[in-house]
């Protein structure tokens, strides 16, 4: 699979040039990006607390056939996720054994839509084995899977080579500014080490002024959660507008964004950046890791008490003589 074809009326950008360094802008802008990210993430935390504790969103704001619950685009009758793939890196001959991109996108979309379904429909499940998260967080999954722009890569080095390419990074900024959406990053491979994943998301937290979560199938990496494939959310903050709109009359219809125009973004050839992480990115990963480790049984779950909502699983582990693992070890 290759990058999406360019539109006929717009010529492709010139090929990327490989660069051996990040430039002075990386180093001079690093503290500013981290400072902005702290404020931006703090604002997001307050918003989540608002919809989960201060003014919690109730169950049933969405019907069971809502597009956020089904993933179905009402205009086409098909899953919207594939239309929202704005870039996919080329697959090499050694990657034939990896899952097809459509399968990765579908499984991830269905998984996230299933989280929204826990807060939709007539019957409400209490917090526990059937519904771990508050309704507000379940609704956030709706904008993350249905409205996000999706990027697909093979593995972390492949993604690093693109995100550290200045022209690719500029396209990410252009997409977020123009579309006002979140960014969902998916990976074809399920075989990775938690340390590699932690380094990758902290690289993105260094390159961009936004937070990034590491969700995937190989343990809870930093603040991330379980997912069928590695799925990193670059949290731009646009979820706030969508989720808060659910409170308004007609909001359930307004939050269903149309599919992204095919071929509008990422028209060039990219991947000329570095395939390794730098010491500030590793430092951020280790600081974050030990901060979460010191939380003990709370782990990387910030908005709920992991010891309470996963009490059934923890009891089963203790009954089998298994140690609790609130965070994947780096």
How deeply is 108 buried, as exposed, middle or buried, from its count of CB atoms within 10 A (0-12, 13-18, 19+)?
buried
Q: Is pLDDT above 50 for 5?
A: no
Residue 188 falls inside a structural domain: yes
Q: Which of 14-18, 23-27, 151-155 has the lowest mean pLDDT?
A: 14-18
Residue 330 falls inside a structural domain: no
> Which residue's structure tokens are 């973004």?
265
Q: Is pLDDT above 90 for 95?
A: no
**Mean pLDDT across the chain, nearest whole number?**
91
Domain count, the chain: 1
Question: Taking Cα atoms as reference points, which of 291, 264, 307 lies closest to residue 7?
Answer: 264
| Domain around 256 | 24-278
Residue 316 falls inside a structural domain: no
pLDDT-derived band at 49, boundaries 50, 70, 90: very high
What pLDDT, on the 0 to 100 scale, is given for residue 21?
56
| String of DSSP letters for 51-99 | IIIISPPPTTSS-TTSHHHH-B-TTTSSBSGGGGEEEEPPPPGGGTTSP
pLDDT tens-digit profile of 188-203?
999 999 999 999 999 9
pLDDT tens-digit profile of 216-226?
999 999 999 99
Residue 303 falls inside a structural domain: no
What pLDDT, on the 0 to 100 scale, is given for residue 6?
42
Residue 226 falls inside a structural domain: yes
Residue 39 falls inside a structural domain: yes
Q: Tell me what percent of the residues of the chain surpass a pLDDT of 90.
A: 77
Residue 136 falls inside a structural domain: yes
> Which residue's structure tokens are 């997409």?
175
pLDDT tens-digit profile of 115-160?
999 999 888 888 877 888 999 999 999 999 999 999 999 999 999 9
- Pairing relationship of beta strands 211-215 and 231-235 according to DSSP bridges: antiparallel
CA–CA dist 224, 230 (Å, integer): 10
What pLDDT, on the 0 to 100 scale, is given for residue 15?
47
Residue 285 falls inside a structural domain: no
């Amino acid at each position: 699979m290759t990058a999406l074809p360019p539109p006929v009326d717009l010529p492709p950008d010139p090929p990327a040039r490989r660069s051996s360094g990040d430039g002075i802008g990386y180093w001079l802008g690093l503290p500013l990006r981290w400072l902005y990210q702290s404020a931006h993430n703090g604002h997001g935390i307050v918003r989540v607390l608002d919809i989960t504790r201060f003014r919690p969103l109730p169950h049933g704001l969405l019907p069971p056939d809502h597009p956020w619950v089904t993933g179905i685009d009402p205009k086409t009758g098909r899953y919207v996720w594939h239309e929202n793939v704005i870039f996919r890196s080329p697959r090499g001959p050694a990657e034939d054994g990896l899952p097809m991109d459509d399968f990765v996108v579908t499984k991830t979309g269905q998984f996230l839509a299933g989280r929204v379904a826990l807060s939709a429909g007539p019957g409400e499940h209490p917090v526990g084995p059937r519904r771990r998260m508050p309704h507000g967080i379940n609704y956030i999954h709706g904008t993350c899977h249905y409205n996000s722009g999706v990027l697909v890569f093979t593995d972390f080095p492949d993604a690093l080579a693109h995100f550290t390419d200045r022209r690719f990074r500029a396209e990410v900024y252009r997409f977020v500014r123009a579309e006002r959406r979140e960014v969902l990053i998916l990976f074809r491979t399920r075989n990775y080490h938690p340390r590699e994943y932690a380094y990758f998301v902290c690289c993105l937290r260094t390159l961009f002024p936004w937070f990034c979560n590491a969700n995937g199938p190989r343990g809870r990496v930093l603040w991330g959660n379980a997912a069928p494939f590695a799925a990193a959310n670059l949290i731009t903050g646009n979820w706030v507008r969508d989720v808060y709109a659910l409170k308004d009359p007609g909001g359930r219809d307004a939050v269903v964004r149309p599919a992204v125009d095919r071929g509008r973004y990422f028209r060039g050839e990219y991947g000329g950046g570095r395939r390794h992480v730098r010491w500030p990115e590793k430092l951020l990963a280790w600081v974050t890791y030990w901060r979460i480790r010191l939380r003990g049984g709370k782990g990387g779950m910030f908005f709920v008490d992991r010891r309470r909502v996963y009490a059934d699983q923890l009891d089963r582990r203790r009954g089998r003589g298994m140690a609790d693992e609130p965070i994947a070890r780096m």
